[in-house]
Amino acid sequence: MPAFALEPEQQAWCAELRTLSAERLRSLAEKGEPGRVNRPLLAALAELGLLERLFTSGALDLCLMRESLAHGCTEAETALALQGLGTYPLVQSGTRAQQDRWLPEVTAGRAVAAFALSEPGAGSDAGALSLNAVPHQGGWRLTGEKCWISNAPEADFYTVFARTTQGAGARGVTAFLVPADRPGLTGAPLDMLSPHPIGALTFTDVPVGPEDVLGDPDRGFRVAMNTLNLFRPSVGAFAVGMAQAALDATIAHTAQRAAFGGLLKDLQSVAHQVAEMATRTEAARLLVYAAAAAYDAGDPGIAKHSAMAKLLATETAQYVVDQAVQLHGARALQRGHLLEHLYREVRAPRIYEGATEVQRTIIAKELYT
């Protein structure tokens, strides 16, 4: 048996998720407003048990969920993933009081989470962040900005990374759990290419205390990296799901589209292109599964595996979707077409949670260590 072949139960579960995504969740997504949190969609994900499973399963299960949902409804996939990204620091590093307050609300689909790391001047170089945490009466006051934060400004709580020790780079960052109703915390939506909600946050003397710290003071960068090491392979899984959807649409289209006295699939140039798309998609899928398996096994090289999976899968998905658009022609550029939607969705994963260039830097660093 191949090293990363799925068990029959896993295959059946993925098929069930693809069906649910296409037949139930997509209709809820279509009723939502682009750029806004879709709370009915979150409620449906909770009802299906997927939000709870986010935090009780391993990395491979997370990848299978994201890939399967993305195949039928990228909005459902993204809503699930953002809940996981914003909440996982609480799961791995939160106190019992923090977990008791927020985890039941998240898994029930009632509370929206957000992961607030990026800033206007600190995106890929997360160690350079400058949101300042000034000591105040046994706690801190947060002052500064966050930008390009998914689910902002509509989230109910934020995992916020702030600088508690100046001049210490990544070693002087602390992770805080900050409820959205804290005084001094405001936000605004950003009009982005992707349809999911993204916003900017402004912190003006926002009070936080020791009870809001996730993990230990000045050790928040590790909280962020542990979260990203888990979620980077699953970003790759999201990309693979989109690539597979584009590939499936292309196979169906070229098998029935008449051109030059025959079908498109009978043109060698077309058939070879589709073969290349399929091969790259499968290669990306296997690398994603391998990275997830390495994470679940506690492999010490997880940073490299995660970076490789995200790098290859997101670049592959961009290629496959672009080729799918080319083979469909002008119809693929019409608003509402599956490929028009995927073309807008597929670009962002090459940037967020560490851009392609950052993944190459991580891989190179690990190779020479």
Q: Which residues are identified as catalytic? A: 353
- Residue 264 and residue 270 in contact, taking contact as beta carbons nearer than 8 Å: yes
**Given the DSSP bridges, would you call strands 113-116 and 157-163 parallel, antiparallel or unpaired?**
parallel
C-alpha pair distances (Å), 32 with each of 87, 160, 272: 23, 27, 39
> How many Cβ atoms are within 10 Å of 276's Cβ, its own excluded?
13
Cα angle 312, 159, 212; round to 5: 150
Nearest-angstrom CA–CA distance, 59 and 63: 6
Tokens standing for residue 17? 């998720």
For 89, counting Cβ atoms within 10 Å of its Cβ (0-12 exposed, 13-18 middle, 19+ buried), the class is: buried
Closest CA to 116 of 64, 174, 73, 61: 174
Q: Which residues is 186 bridged to in the sheet?
A: 202
SS3 state of residue 202:
strand
Cβ pair 121, 98 in contact under 8 A: no
